[in-house]
Amino acid sequence: MKQRDIFRESVFERDNHKCVVCGEPAQDAHHIIERRLFDDGGYYIDNGASLCGLHHLEAEKTILEAQALRDIIGINKIILPKGFHKDNHYDKWGNIMLANGQRMKGELFFDESVQKVLSEVLYLFTDYVKYPRTKHFPWSESINKDDDIISELSVFEEKNVIVTDKMDGENATIYPNGYFHARSVTGNSHPSQSWLKNFVQGFCFDIPTGWRICGENLYARHSIKYNELESYFQVFSIWNEQNECLKWEEMLEYCELLGLTPVPILWQGVFDQDEIHQAFLNKKNASEGYVVRLEDKFHYTEFQSSIAKYVRANHIAPHNWRIKWDASDLNQTK
């Protein structure tokens, strides 16, 4: 039997072949979180719900929420795709449900079919966009079970690329209104973010409407201790109102305009796997690894085929560093 048939059978069986909402005969073994967000299709019984036609439609539209379905069925184990953060709540399409009822756009948000199905709830979405996760190169030395590897290196071949230091801090996305969020979105009031909170007030009003700036917040020390940082905040990408990542040169111009520091460049040129890795090995200062991106602009939906990273062996990036962090453990600027 095919995986999807086993899924359907086992979900229906658990729910007695009835819609878990209204008790009508079940028509669909619904994926609570969309199968396309999983690299294995997400065919887990705890990611399934038996629904009638009507309630299936409501669940697809997210009028009937993912968590509501889990609650009705009594599912305690929340199944999430790789790179999703267990502290966040997600709708069916991987958009983040914020505590105030609004939603942050996720990786499938811009998909045409998803736009259509979400049409009744689009007003709930903020301009805030989740920073996608970066896939590893096959030669990366710290690949966890939660990480993805880029399968098609051909996306870089014969293309101009920019290789930057992978800075060991916290991912931050900053908006024109001064709001910023880390990758996990929640917990914006952590003491290690106080420096950035003040810093963004100095330039956020100059960010064009609909744009956002992504960079590394290096105020708190994580695994690597930096003693001579150009700045505690270092930019690695700027996104315009079309949700395009600016080409590198243009990003640098905006950095200069706003008085921001870009992440250090390690190498640039036409993609060459060996040369890039050698440039990393030749580096004197300790570094977590490197990030390769296309020099040219690319759209948010092309992120996974435009950026990849290498992380050194045994790099420890504890997810709970915030809890362990001692407020005196800071990096240093020049």
For Zn ion, the binding residues (CB under 5 A) are 19, 21-22, 24, 52, 55
Of 26 and 294, which has the nearer Cβ to Zn ion?
Answer: 26
Q: Give the amino acid at 328.
A: S
Q: Where are the alpha helices (DSSP H) in 201-304?
A: 248-258, 273-281
Closest distance to Zn ion from the beta carbon of 57 (Å): 10
Closest Cα partner for 173 from 334, 300, 310?
300
What is the SS3 assignment for 294? Answer: strand
Tokens of 265: 């460049």
Cα–Cα distance for residue pair 5/43, rounded to 1 Å: 10
Of 75 and 238, which has the nearer Cβ to Zn ion?
Answer: 75
Closest distance to Zn ion from the beta carbon of 29 (Å): 13
Of 22 and 122, which has the nearer Cβ to Zn ion?
Answer: 22
CA 314 remoteness from chain centre: 22
- Spell out where the chain has E strands: 28-31, 48-51, 89-90, 96-97, 103-105, 125-129, 135-136, 160-165, 170-174, 180-182, 212-217, 233-239, 244-245, 261-262, 265-270, 289-294, 298-299, 307-311
Of 22 and 286, which has the nearer Cβ to Zn ion?
Answer: 22
Of 62 and 173, which has the nearer Cβ to Zn ion?
Answer: 62
